[in-house]
Amino acid sequence: GVEPADSVAAMLPQVVYLTVHTPLTDETRNLIDMPQLEQLKPGVRLINCARGGIYNEAALVAGLKSGKIAGVALDVFTEEPCTDSPLFGMPGVICTPHLGASTEEAQTQVAVEACELLTDFLTTGAIRHAVNMAPLDARQLEAIRNEIGIAYRLGLLMAQWHHGNTKAVHLTYRGEVAEKNTKLISSAFAAGLLENALEEDVNIVNAEVLLRERGIELSEESRSEMGGFRNLISVDLTTDVRNYSAAATVFGQKMLRLVQLDGYRLEGYLDGILLLFSHQDVPGIIGRVGTIFGEHQVNIAQMAVGRSSDTPGSDAVGVLNLDSFPSDEAVAAVAAHPDIKSVDVVQLPPAGEMPPWLA
């Protein structure tokens, strides 16, 4: 039953009650002034609990005296605190101070509620009344815990892997995850992407805002149809150097796995210390990398390789999970191999560890 109006002028002749809830801007200043009195329906009642100056107070007085306006209710004024106004005491007028939440009762309730919100989050993980964040109770949180873990780790991975200045990020949710709270999952990715880049604390509540403040566009899309996995979270990150892409899923109940890197399919563990290297798929590469780390006393816990085709000699990527952080000398020795094009070390949380703001 709602009929939109093309303009304020088109709306005014139909108004019985007019209540405004906007900032005071050049567009809203004197929204109701002397010229608008002629457009209003006789007997109109005007309410302003937004900002003083949206209604011209002199015009309100004139409208009340002429009978065009039947009633006015204000708790905001052009000059505040307002101690004297011709509106005070006029029939059909209610004026109260612009108190906001300044009453004793309101201040007490705000303090109590703030403590309750913190207690809820720290004990159950529930998020209520957060700015720029949908409410989330503990049960909802548990339902997307794995997806939050995947997105957060993908954010950490992309932050340490990419080179150049980040311009835009696009997240794709496919399968069952597309039906879940993807807004929160995207925020978890943003938190991982920014965690080590800023001095201030980053979490799922402020991460997306901080990302956009730095001119990085974050977009997402969801596809309910399944591909090769029941759930898949993919990220495409654009820098001024090149584009980077990765995808991850969960196996079983809580096994987070990296299943795609720059378009190469593989199956890598999404935890601990990772060595990412692109190379030509020729004999001896994996053996030489293993030998180098053996010489530097670095143990390889897991290994995954993905290549662009089934034909040997094509482009390929490798992901090694290491038991300790490799020295600069070990990384340099790997990078010096003529068939290895790039080498990056990425540090992710241990298996099963949740983000610090969700632990």
Q: Amino acid identity of 255?
A: M
Q: Quote the pTM value.
A: 0.65
> In residues, how long is the chain?
359
- The Cβ of residue 188 has, within 10 Å, a number of other Cβ atoms equal to 27
Kind and range of the H or E element at 248? strand 243-251
- Helix, strand, coil distribution of the chain in percent, nearest 5: 30, 30, 40
CB contact burial 92-131 (16+ within 10 A = b; e otherwise):
ebebeeeeeeeeeeeeeeeeeeeeeeeeebeeebbbeeee
pLDDT score for 336:
94
Active-site residue numbers? Answer: 51, 80, 98
For the segment 251-266, the average pLDDT, to the nearest whole number, is 90
- The answer to whether 68 touches 37, Cβ cutoff 8 Å, is yes
Range name among 33-42, 225-234, 238-247, 303-312 with the lowest pLDDT average: 303-312
Q: Which residues contact 200 (CB under 8 A, 6 or more apart)?
A: 210
Question: pLDDT tens, 153-185?
Answer: 999 999 999 999 999 999 999 999 988 888 889
Nearest CA to 346 out of 270, 296, 258, 275 is that of: 275
More confident residue, 65 or 352: 65
Pairing between β-strand 69-74 and β-strand 93-95 as defined by DSSP bridges: parallel
Cα 68 from Cα 151, distance rounded (Å): 59
Q: Are 271 and 302 in contact (CB under 8 A)?
A: no
Amino acid (one-letter) located at 142: E
Give the confidence band of 7 by pLDDT, cuts at 50, 70, 90.
Answer: very high
Q: Is the pLDDT of residue 19 over 90?
A: yes
Residue whose token pair is 């010229």 = 35
Interatomic CA distance for residues 46 and 135, integer angstroms = 34
Best CA proximity match to 180, nearest among 192, 190, 171, 170 = 171
Task: State mean pLDDT over 18-29.
Answer: 94
Is the pLDDT score of 130 beyond 70?
Answer: no
Confidence of residue 226 (pLDDT cuts 50, 70, 90): confident
CB atoms within 10 A of CB 203: 19
Contact 187, 204 (CB under 8 A): yes
- If you average pLDDT over residues 250-261, what whole number do you get? 90
CA distance 35 to 15: 16
Which neighbouring-strand residues pair with 346?
274
